[in-house]
Amino acid sequence: MPSSFPAIYLASTSPRRAQLLEQIGVPFEIIRPDDSEAAELLEAELPNEPALDYVRRVCRAKAFASFAQISAHQLPTRPILCADTTVALNDRIFGKPANATDVHTMLNQLSGKTHQTHTAIAVVHDGQLIERVVTSDVTFRLLTTEDIDVYIASGEPFGKAGAYAIQGLSACFISHLSGSFSAVMGLPLFEVADILQNLHAPTP
């Protein structure tokens, strides 16, 4: 059995990340950004930015912003967990689709190919920033127009990096995964557990 985890702040509104933390028994409180527009701007890509650099930068920026917000509100001191996930094909970043046309474009490009999913995590605790990045290779089978149309009708691809969610209907698209299922889902549980168990922070 894993050792007890400290109570943390989860600086993410992703229900998938919350579900994953619940899965391994981490007590957490969700911190939502005071300024949602400013939070969205943190995810803006820089010109010619490599996917790994992008995901590290965005995750670090979220961590600093969350720490500043928690400090400003004078909330109790706890470790802060941030995460960011991006999908990349040949180092081209696939963000969240804006509409059905975007979904078709992204999934047609991922069809029959192996792409990378990079998930960065950052934990702010006791004046330290602890960072990890987990990269997984995901292979899609060849997709038909009907496959993509049915998937769009489900509503699932919207709000998801790369226009798919591995834990949902798109599991039928994935012929091979090399890496971490939970990282592709949005939070690498092995790495999160390893960091939190080594913080030596008391549970309130």
67: domain CATH number is 3.90.950.10
Q: Say if residue 40's pLDDT is above 90.
A: no
In a domain, residue 179? The reply is: yes
Domain assignment of residue 62, given as a range: 8-197
Residue 194 is among the residues annotated as catalytic for this protein = no
Classify 64 as helix, strand or coil: helix
Give residue-wise pLDDT tens across range 166-204: 999 999 999 999 999 999 999 999 999 999 999 864 444
Q: Say if residue 115's pLDDT is above 50.
A: yes
- Number of structural domains, the chain? 1
In a domain, residue 109? The reply is: yes
- What is residue 44's predicted lDDT score, i.e. its pLDDT? 87
- What is residue 61's predicted lDDT score, i.e. its pLDDT? 95
Catalytic residue among 84, 102, 147, 149: 84
Average pLDDT, the chain: 93
User: pTM of the entire structure?
Assistant: 0.91
In a domain, residue 1? The reply is: no
Q: Per-residue b/e over 27-50, b at no fewer than 16 CB within 10 Å?
A: ebeebebeeeeebeebbeeeeeee
Q: H helices of 24-175, where?
A: 36-41, 51-72, 100-110, 145-154
In a domain, residue 58? The reply is: yes
CA angle 64, 65, 68 (to 5 degrees): 85
CA angle 12, 102, 15 (to 5 degrees): 20
- What is residue 39's predicted lDDT score, i.e. its pLDDT? 79
- What is residue 200's predicted lDDT score, i.e. its pLDDT? 60
